[in-house]
Amino acid sequence: MANDIILVANPHAQFNAHAAEICPAVERVLASGSYILGEEVKSFELEFAAFIGSKSCIGVANGTDALALALRACGVRPGDEVITVSHSAVATVAAIEQIGAIPVFVDIEPKSRCMDPTKIPPLVSAATKAIVPVHIYGQPASMSEIMNVSRQYNLKVIEDCAQAHGADISGQKVGTFGDAAGFSFYPTKNLGAIGDGGAIVTNDCTIADMCRRFREYGWKEKYISFFPGYNSRLDELQAAILRVKLKYLAQDNANRREIAEKYNTAIDGTRIIAPAQINETLHAMHLYVIESENRDNLQRFLTDEKIGTARHYPMPIHLQPVYRGRIRGGENLIHTETLYKRILSLPMYPELSHVQVEKICTSLKKWISE
């Protein structure tokens, strides 16, 4: 039966875990008569900013818009180049192209699987205006080195934190290193809405003010547009749901890391390689992504064991049909292309039961010993 399958992601389980608080929160919004940019959004923005450690949070419609609006607020214009990675969700590049900017790809570090700062300088041109590092899977990128490069070349840094809610480097949460950061609240994220949602965080008051104007038609005052903007607003229902879940995010992340440690113990490091543990970084463990030379065989085995898996992602962005051959830097992504032949995501969410985790560990050990 389908219910016997351990899903690779299960946002419904998170709803069930907090339904006793989510349902009254939704009813509260329905009864309020205020559904867009009301008190729930204002309260969530304050609470999420406090959680991240930033001065400002601006709720928007989704994570893609969060990056796009942050880029625009940081002064990136059509025709400007933005350096990022091909090892990410397509949304990262979609956000750059959404505002008419031009993505440029840099390779990743094999250990962290994040942007390699040493590879950025050769890609900087007169048109380069910003860097978008991606904290992939919840692993923080090398922000100290990236910020050093940005200062050297006078570039803005907008962090893609879509998969990294609560991740940190030496106690400082990601999203607070660059000029601004974009978060996604897609239902499968560590902090997930029941629908789409996103947010920008920043410590720069000018950037925050620009983002607020951009998200609503360029308004400075209601109905009066001072420049072209967007319609990208976090709604009250999603904000109310996110406020409930935010209270549990730190503990949920801790539970994810406990599950990861059990997987780590079950993995031998030869036939299956666990995610690297990078000194002074706290992994949000959005995804637990292993590597194996026999990835396809392992995936088939786990499917037979009724354990769901996924490939995040099936193909790097620069090799996907719409992007192939047209983005600078895509011809020299050796580590990125090697990684994609080996990666596989195991089930990872805090609602996994002890029995489910033990079954996954037992199955991994069984495959390793064959």
The domain limits of the chain are: 11-246, 248-369
SS3 sequence, the chain?
CHHHCECCCCHHHHHHHHHHHHHHHHHHHHHHCCCECCHHHHHHHHHHHHHHCCCEEEEECCHHHHHHHHHHHCCCCCCCEEEEECCCCHHHHHHHHHCCCEEEEECECCCCCCECHHHCHHHCCCCEEEECCECHHHCCCCHHHHHHHHHHHCCEEEEECCCCCCCEECCEECCCCCCEEEEECCCCCCCCCCCCCEEEEECCHHHHHHHHHHCECCEEECCEECCCCCECCCEHHHHHHHHHHHCCHHHHHHHHHHHHHHHHHHCCCCCCECCCCCCCEECCCCCEEEECCCHHHHHHHHHHCCECCECCCCCCHHHCCCCCCCCCCCCCCHHHHHHHCCEEEECCCCCCCHHHHHHHHHHHHHHHHC
Q: Residue 1: which pLDDT band, with cuts at 50, 70 and 90?
A: very low
What does the pLDDT average to over 170-180? Answer: 98
- Asked whether residue 105 carries a pLDDT value surpassing 50, the answer given is yes
What does the pLDDT average to over 68-92? Answer: 98
- May I ask the CATH class of domain 11-246? alpha beta
Q: Residue count of the chain, please give it.
A: 370
- Asked whether residue 2 carries a pLDDT value surpassing 70, the answer given is no
Whose tokens are 């409930």? That residue is 244
Query: CA-to-CA distance for 101 and 42, rounded, in angstroms?
Result: 30
Phi, psi of 79 (to 5 degrees): 95, -15
AA letter at 20: A
Phi, psi of 32 (to 5 degrees): -75, -30
For residues 159 and 132, the answer to whether their CB atoms sit within 8 Å is: yes
Phi, psi of 298 (to 5 degrees): -65, -40
- Predicted pLDDT at 300: 98
Query: CA-to-CA distance for 103 and 196, rounded, in angstroms?
Result: 24
Cβ-in-10-Å burial (0-12, 13-18, 19+) of 269 comes to exposed
- Predicted pLDDT at 3: 64
Contacts of 352 by beta carbon, 8 Å cutoff, 6+ apart: 6, 259
What kind of fold does domain 248-369 have according to CATH?
Aspartate Aminotransferase, domain 1 (3.90.1150)
| More confident site: 222 or 90 | 90
Query: CA-to-CA distance for 67 and 217, rounded, in angstroms?
Result: 17
- Predicted pLDDT at 268: 87
pTM of the model: 0.97
Question: How far is the CA of 270 from the CAs of 135, 309, 368, 369, in angstroms?
Answer: 25, 20, 9, 11
Average pLDDT, rounded, for the chain: 97
224-283 confidence digits (pLDDT tens):
999 999 999 999 999 999 999 999 999 999 999 999 999 999 998 899 999 999 999 999
- Predicted pLDDT at 145: 98
315-354 confidence digits (pLDDT tens):
999 999 999 999 999 999 999 999 999 999 999 999 999 9
